[in-house]
Amino acid sequence: MNWLVLACACAFSTATAAAISKLLLRTRNEFFVGWVRFLFVLPFFAFMVWAQRAEFCLSVAFWKTIAVMLPLELAAFLLYLNALKVSPLSLTFPFLGLTPVFTIITAFLFLNETISLPGAAGVALVTIGAYVLNADTAKYGFWEPLKRIYKEKGSRFMVLVALIFGVTSALGKRALLLSDPFLFPFIYYSIFFAILTPIALVKKSITFRLNKKEAFLCIVLGLIFSAAIYFHFAALSMVKVPYFMSVKRLSLVISMIYAYTVFKERQIGWRFLGSLVITGGVILLALTE
């Protein structure tokens, strides 16, 4: 399957998982929601590893990469869920659009990957689009959309998440090249789940006493999140990190739709304009591959 199709599927499932997580965060805390997301992921990838008869003979370099990624990803994951919980979706999720800027640097440092001039222009458009998504505050000054970071707690959290993802996406590509698209996520998220579970237990967050709505949301969240991870690593194995991360940021556009239709957030017209800029960047990226 074409990397662009997989990346777009990843964008849709990522935004959908974020919206479902925000719904579940209305009644449960971030530790429970994080734990549930990975509870469903592990059986899926365990089956895929078994079906593919994957080899577990992995290099020291693979394990070193995992060791660096885990604390960063855990911090980013909890910050991500906190951002969704404390602030509107339309004021937090767009800041993930900064990730492609960071991945250009980290992909060069860790993977020696460079991008073409049209590719750089595509990444730039995606990043500009992320700015335009918040341009409704520019009437107070050019830098006001950036100052919003300091005014909105969830926005500050999401910028940190974007920065961390800029590092871990490049490291994840390195680990992926040292293993395969099924074995790496299975090993990585098994360890991640093993670390997250005792933390959730200490926070007294793990429970199976759920109402019907919560149970339904948990199941759907687990399935959608599993699909997002699969699409993520399948696409990442085919294309350079900055290109993939830029297309994945179509999730910003989709999240705006959820913000308006599901969470009834208003005054997001600029964010839809920003989505058109992001789409232009995606088309430019597709033409360069």
The CA-atom distances, in angstroms, between 216 and each of 41, 221, 237 are: 16, 8, 32
Please give the Cα distance from 218 to 209 (Å, whole number). 12
Q: Confidence band (pLDDT; 50, 70, 90) for 68?
A: very high
**Cβ neighbourhood burial of 211 (10 Å; 0-12, 13-18, 19+):** exposed
Position 286 scores a pLDDT of 63
Contact yes or no for 122/249 (Cβ under 8 A): no
How far is Cα 166 from Cα 128, in angstroms, rounded to an integer? Answer: 17
Residue 214 pLDDT grade (very low, low, confident, very high; cuts 50, 70, 90): very high
Position 289 scores a pLDDT of: 57
Any idea what the Cα angle at residue 87 is, between residues 86 and 91, rounded to 5°?
155
pLDDT at 288: 67
Kindly give, in sequence order, each residue whose CB lies less than 8 Å from that of residue 10, ignoring residues fewer than 6 positions away.
Answer: 228, 231, 232, 235, 248, 251
Predicted pLDDT at 69: 93
User: What is the predicted pLDDT for the residue at 203?
Assistant: 81
d(CA 117, CA 125): 12
What's the mean per-residue pLDDT of the chain?
85
For residue 200, is pLDDT > 80? yes
Q: How many CB atoms lie within 10 A of CB 200?
A: 20
Per-residue pLDDT at 113 exceeds 80: no
Structure tokens, 91 = 């004021």
pLDDT at position 272? 80
Given phi > 0 = left and psi -120 to 50 = alpha, else beta, which region is 104? alpha
Q: Comparing 28-32, 168-172, 229-233, which segment has the lowest mean pLDDT?
A: 168-172
Round to whole Å and give the CA distance between 116 and 259. 34
- Predicted TM-score (pTM) of this structure: 0.84
Lowest mean pLDDT among 153-167, 172-186, 254-268, 275-289: 275-289
The amino acid present at 24, given as its one-letter code, is L
Confidence check: pLDDT of 42 > 80: yes
The pair of structure tokens assigned to 78 is 């909890």
Largest CA distance in the chain: 58
Cα 13 to the center of its chain, rounded Å: 10
pLDDT score, position 287: 66
Half-sphere exposure of 205 (CA within 13 A, CB side): 18
pLDDT at res. 231: 92
Among 2-16, 58-72, 86-100, 204-218, name the one with the lowest average pLDDT: 86-100
Rounded average pLDDT over 153-174: 87
Number of domains in the chain: 1
Residue numbers of the domain that contains 188: 3-288
Q: For 248-279, what is each residue's pLDDT tens digit?
A: 878 888 998 999 999 998 778 887 888 788 87
Q: CA 103 to CA 232: how far, in whole Å?
A: 15
Q: Rounded CA gap, 64 and 62, in Å?
A: 5
Q: What is the pLDDT confidence band of residue 157, given thresholds at 50, 70 and 90?
A: very high
CA end-to-end distance (rounded Å), the chain: 14
Q: Interior CA angle at 243 toward 242 and 248, to 5°?
A: 95
